[in-house]
Amino acid sequence: MTESHPLSAIEEAASAWFMRRRARTSDAGAEQAFQAWLAQSPVHRQEYERLAQVWDDMAALPRQAAARAPAPVMPAPTCG
């Protein structure tokens, strides 16, 4: 299992933009702000595109197989 880490400021901003655009709550001003954010740094665009790719990859997973998969069994904690 991989260890989680706190999101960087760029990851947080990319996530916020991604969700806002998915919710279609952007107006012309918000779209201009998003385009300006993308233009500020190639890293912004890379992170946004990485996030969009992960979203697409997750959407492509077969839903029936995931629904049938048994839940992982976690060992009971031990006292000691």
pLDDT digit string, tens, across residues 39-63:
999 999 999 999 999 998 888 888 7
Range of the domain at 53: 9-60
Element (H, E) at 49: helix 42-60
Which residues fall within 8 angstroms of residue 26, CB to CB, at 6 or more apart?
Answer: 20, 34
In a domain, 53, yes or no: yes
Against a cut of 0.95, is the pTM above it?
Answer: no
In a domain, 31, yes or no: yes
In a domain, 73, yes or no: no
In a domain, 52, yes or no: yes
Q: How many domains does the chain have?
A: 1
In a domain, 77, yes or no: no
What is the DSSP annotation of 29-46? HHHHHHHHHHHH-HHHHH
- For residue range 17-32, list pLDDT tens digits in order: 999 998 887 688 999 9
Identify the pLDDT of residue 44.
96
Q: How far is CA 55 from CA 27, 36, 71, in A?
A: 23, 23, 22
In a domain, 32, yes or no: yes
Q: How far is CA 29 from CA 26, 33, 36, 61, 63, in A?
A: 8, 6, 11, 35, 37
